[in-house]
Chain A
Amino acid sequence: MTTEAKNKPKVAFFDFTSCEGCQLNKLNLENDLLDILEHVDIVEFREAMDDKAEEYDIAFIEGSISTPSCVERIHDIRRRAKMLIALGACATQGGINAMKNLQPIEEVREAVYGDEKYRFPTLPAMPVSAIVKVDYKIDGCPMSMPEFLKVLKSLLAGQEPIKPDSAVCVECKLKENECVFDKGMVCLGPITRGGCDAICPSFGQFCTGCRGLISNPNKNAMLEILTEHGISLDEAKKRILLFNSYDHSQSMPK
Chain B
Amino acid sequence: MSIAISDIKTQELYSPDISEIIAIKRFTEKEKWFEIRLPEGRSLGHQPGQFVQVSLFGAGEAPISVTSSPTKEGSFELCVREVGMLTKIFHNLKVGSTIGIRGPYGKGFDVESFKGKDILIIGGGIGIVPLRSLINYVIDNRKDYGRLIILYGAKTPDELLYPDDLKLWDKSNDIEYHITVDQGTPEWKGNTGVITTLIPGLDLDLPNTITAVVGPPIMYKFVLMSLKTKRIPDKNIYLSLERRMKCGVGKCGHCQINHSYICQDGPVYHYPELKHLQEAI
Contact = CB atoms under 8 A, between A and B. Distances in A.
Contacts of B89: 158-159
The A contact surface, by secondary structure, is loop
B274 to A, nearest CB: 29
The 8 A-B pairs at the shortest CB distance, nearest first, are namely A160-B85, A157-B58, A159-B59, A159-B85, A159-B89, A159-B58, A158-B89, A162-B85
A159 B84 CA distance: 10
Contacts of A162: 85
A157 B88 CA distance: 13
Given A159-B89, A160-B88, 9 more contacts: A157-B58, A158-B89, A158-B92, A159-B58, A159-B59, A159-B85, A160-B84, A160-B85, A162-B85
A158 B85 CA distance: 10
Interface string B80-91: 000011001100
A73 to B, nearest CB: 31
A1 to B, nearest CB: 14
Nearest to B89: A159
Contacts of A159: 58-59, 85, 89
B5 to A, nearest CB: 25
Interface of B: 58-59, 84-85, 88-89, 92
A216 B234 CA distance: 38
Contacts of A160: 84-85, 88
Interface in A143-188: 157-160, 162
Q: Give the size range of A's interface with the partner.
A: under 10
B97 to A, nearest CB: 13
Interface in A119-165: 157-160, 162
Contacts of A158: 89, 92
B2 to A, nearest CB: 28
8 contacts: A158-B89, A159-B58, A159-B59, A159-B85, A159-B89, A160-B84, A160-B85, A162-B85
A12 B85 CA distance: 24
Contacts of B59: 159
Nearest to A162: B85
Nearest to B60: A162
A152 to B, nearest CB: 14
Nearest to A157: B58
A159 B85 CA distance: 7
A157 B86 CA distance: 12
B98 to A, nearest CB: 16
B49 to A, nearest CB: 29
B92 to A, nearest CB: 7
Nearest to B88: A160
Contacts of B92: 158
A162 B88 CA distance: 14
Contacts of B85: 159-160, 162
Contacts of B58: 157, 159
A231 to B, nearest CB: 36
A93 to B, nearest CB: 23
A158 B84 CA distance: 13
B139 to A, nearest CB: 39
A159 B91 CA distance: 12
A157 B85 CA distance: 12
Nearest to B84: A160
Nearest to A161: B85
Contacts of B88: 160
Nearest to A153: B58
B56 to A, nearest CB: 9
Contacts of B84: 160
A44 B88 CA distance: 30
Nearest to A160: B85
A41 B92 CA distance: 25
A172 to B, nearest CB: 21
A171 B140 CA distance: 53
A155 to B, nearest CB: 11
A191 to B, nearest CB: 23
A157 B60 CA distance: 13
A159 B59 CA distance: 7
A157 B58 CA distance: 8
Nearest to B59: A159
A111 B58 CA distance: 51
Interface string A20-59: 0000000000000000000000000000000000000000
